[in-house]
Amino acid sequence: MTTEPMRGVLSPVITPFKADYSPDAERLIAQCRWLLSQNVGLAVFGTNSEANSLSADEKLMLLEALVEAGLDPARMMPGTGCCALSDSVRLTKRAVELGCGGALMLPPFYYKGVSDEGLFRNFAEIIERVGDDRLRVYLYHIPPVSQVPITLDLIDRLLKAYPGIVAGVKDSSGDWSNTKAMLDAFPGFGVFAGNELILLDNMRGGGVGCISATANVNPGPIHELYANWETPEAERMQEEVNAIRKFVQQFPMIPALKQIVAHYSGDAGWARLRPPLVELTGAQATDLLDGLAERKFAMPGLPTVQKGAAD
Amino acid sequence: MTTEPMRGVLSPVITPFKADYSPDAERLIAQCRWLLSQNVGLAVFGTNSEANSLSADEKLMLLEALVEAGLDPARMMPGTGCCALSDSVRLTKRAVELGCGGALMLPPFYYKGVSDEGLFRNFAEIIERVGDDRLRVYLYHIPPVSQVPITLDLIDRLLKAYPGIVAGVKDSSGDWSNTKAMLDAFPGFGVFAGNELILLDNMRGGGVGCISATANVNPGPIHELYANWETPEAERMQEEVNAIRKFVQQFPMIPALKQIVAHYSGDAGWARLRPPLVELTGAQATDLLDGLAERKFAMPGLPTVQKGAAD
């Protein structure tokens, strides 16, 4: 991994599936290449990537395909935190070997009400077994989904045990007061907001960027906000990205993102989700696309296919 | 898989780990052999097995080791339901090939608030891809942990689509009214209670047994209750197994079970848990073992080692 800390806007890249639900490396490579062209980094295997609907083998295959395709691993922060310690070690080790800029780690999320001591042991074991100074761990706090939180006490303990290695956090609590508490408690820690609605607040508070679902479809404007957060234009830019975000998040997020990419790329196969997730209803899809058109939404530079050409 | 429906008492067998946290097939084989000698079947890779702290490869290795050791696969109901469809298919297919009596399937549990349609597609894909008439699916309803329920509507739809294949359910809701609703709605469906506290009620209501954490340590008496549920002794037997269960469940369940086996076998290594779970504190362990001694608890026939000889 690089020694340059990761900053800016990252996308938990949505994962394309073929008709048989197998992950589609080719489509993913093209999408990631486009996101990088919009100055957005690659938090592949995040919640919005349906990462937990993929096996460890499938994640490794996709990550290797991205690096082999020539995409810059320093811009990648793959999700490598699994329920099973052995899977987390395997994925994280490979991410470091491939030169990834960081690894985004969920806590093990099956057992509920686990102790900070147990979570500390989980992360400590992963770090020790990977045993590589290039590792940069970003802790993933998303209690609405994982139901297992990353507490301030746990961060404090990990930072003391593994300074430099434990590099930051993605706070997807949806609670700005929690993000603020992280910023205040750990100066210099790489705090990513969990969405762009609080990107400006996060930057002003000492944060380093955001990792946001909607960066999959609106990467350019979100990056512009990040790049210009200290300018007089920032407030207006924040309002503009908020308008898109607040509209899109009225729909089930992952199917909505896939529907948008399917529509603007002309590649209907992008709308496919792996069970247990399902696509939008026809009415939802119409409302979503009509609403975006009204808002003059665009995805400049997105690779397109002739309608009906791709599966 | 056998065509004989599974019945009786099964144990979600606790999983032993070596000092490096790798799963210990030898200890597991010995424990499973003892459980079978107590007339208790093997629901390996359940919640109490720390199954979701194991990788798919680790589960396959252990399952194959059990069958290779000569234990009867018809008495095995391994947990094969994972977050990733691809893992669920792989584990379930292998379980069928090995001749397992059933497969206990969690729903994919990372994404919350998923639809019954999405869950139906998950189970349908697994069943179709395994594509073997010997498959017997037992749905695993444990909302306090998985946070993703198996609703009556979902069971109804699966039963209509895959009669014979969808063979039963383990209800670990902790809510007798839910178990009762399942019994009433689906006559002939293999309903296992999630613990022995309601074993008698479940049998009287048309159920087929229980799959209980405490069957790891108190298998004989729980089986006796099952075998004699229609006799005048049943109420007394129910009270006796309840007394042990209600005492043990005052402690964190999985570490308590492992502590009990460690103590009564003389094999301290059994007390080890994989992160994120942690062992009992010293005070908890003392309270637990003292309380069991007061209750004249015993584990007849449990293989023992000379104190300090193992691991």
Span B248-300, pLDDT tens digits: 999 999 999 999 999 999 999 999 999 999 999 999 999 999 999 999 999 99
A122, B58: Cβ pair inside 8 Å?
no
> In terms of Cα–Cα distance, which of B38, B10, B22, B27 is closest to B300?
B38
CB atoms within 10 A of CB B60: 17
Nearest-Cα residue of chain A relative to residue B118: A276
Contact with chain B for residue A275, Cβ under 8 A? yes
A85, B274: Cβ pair inside 8 Å?
yes
The size of the A-B interface in CB pairs under 8 A is 117
Contacts of B87 in chain A (CB under 8 A): 55
What is the distance in angstroms between the Cα of B229 and the nearest Cα belonging to chain A?
33
Please state, in angstroms and rounded to a whole number, the distance separating the CA atoms of residues A278 and A252. Answer: 9
Q: Which runs of consecutive H residues, i.e. helices, occur in chain B?
A: 25-37, 56-68, 85-97, 116-130, 143-146, 152-161, 176-185, 199-204, 219-227, 234-248, 253-265, 282-294
Tell me the β-bridge partners of B139: B105, B169
Contacts of B279 in chain A (CB under 8 A): none
Q: By the 8 A CB rule, do A95 and A69 touch?
A: no
Contact with chain A for residue B110, Cβ under 8 A? yes
What is the distance in angstroms between the Cα of A114 and the nearest Cα belonging to chain B?
7
Facing residue for B276 by CB, picked from A57, A107, A277: A107
Q: Which of A18, A274, A279 to mutate to probe the B interface, most B CBs <10 Å?
A: A274
B53, A110: Cβ pair inside 8 Å?
yes
Residue A9 makes CB contacts below 8 A (sequence gap 6+) with A39, A40, A41, A196, A199, A209, A210, A211, A212, A215, A219, A222, A223, A226
Q: How confident is the model at residue A2 (pLDDT cuts 50, 70, 90)?
A: very low
Please state, in angstroms and rounded to a whole number, the distance separating the CA atoms of residues B95 and B244. Answer: 33
Percent of chain B that is helix, strand, coil (3-state, to 5)? 50, 10, 40
Q: Which residues of B108-134 are buried (b: 16+ CB within 10 A; e: fewer)?
A: bbbbeebebebbbbbbebbbebbeeee
- Which tokens sit at B195? 């613990």
Facing residue for B118 by CB, picked from A86, A121, A277: A277
Contacts of A122 in chain B (CB under 8 A): 275-276
pTM: 0.96
B145, A111: Cβ pair inside 8 Å?
yes
Contact with chain A for residue B92, Cβ under 8 A? no
Please state, in angstroms and rounded to a whole number, the distance separating the CA atoms of residues A15 and B171. Answer: 34
What ipTM does the predicted assembly reach?
0.95
Please state, in angstroms and rounded to a whole number, the distance separating the CA atoms of residues B151 and B182. Answer: 9
Facing residue for B276 by CB, picked from A21, A114, A276: A114
What is the distance in angstroms between the Cα of A300 and the nearest Cα belonging to chain B?
31
Please state, in angstroms and rounded to a whole number, the distance separating the CA atoms of residues A259 and B117. Answer: 18
The enclosing H or E element of A282 equals: helix A282-294
Backbone torsions φ then ψ of A98, nearest 5 degrees: -80, -5
Contacts of A110 in chain B (CB under 8 A): 47, 52-53, 109, 145-146
B54, A86: Cβ pair inside 8 Å?
yes
The sign of the torsion formed by the CA atoms of B284, B290, B293, B295 equals negative
Residue B16 DSSP SS3: coil
Sequential pLDDT tens for chain B (311 residues): 445 799 999 999 999 999 999 999 999 999 999 999 999 999 999 999 999 999 999 999 999 999 999 999 999 999 999 999 999 999 999 999 999 999 999 999 999 999 999 999 999 999 999 999 999 999 999 999 999 999 999 999 999 999 999 999 999 999 999 999 999 999 999 999 999 999 999 999 999 999 999 999 999 999 999 999 999 999 999 999 999 999 999 999 999 999 999 999 999 999 999 999 999 999 999 999 999 999 999 999 999 986 555 55
Span A27-53, pLDDT tens digits: 999 999 999 999 999 999 999 999 999
Contacts of A57 in chain B (CB under 8 A): 86
Span A106-135, pLDDT tens digits: 999 999 999 999 999 999 999 999 999 999
Backbone torsions φ then ψ of B284, nearest 5 degrees: -65, -45
Place of tokens 């603007």: A264
What is the distance in angstroms between the Cα of A168 and the nearest Cα belonging to chain B?
20
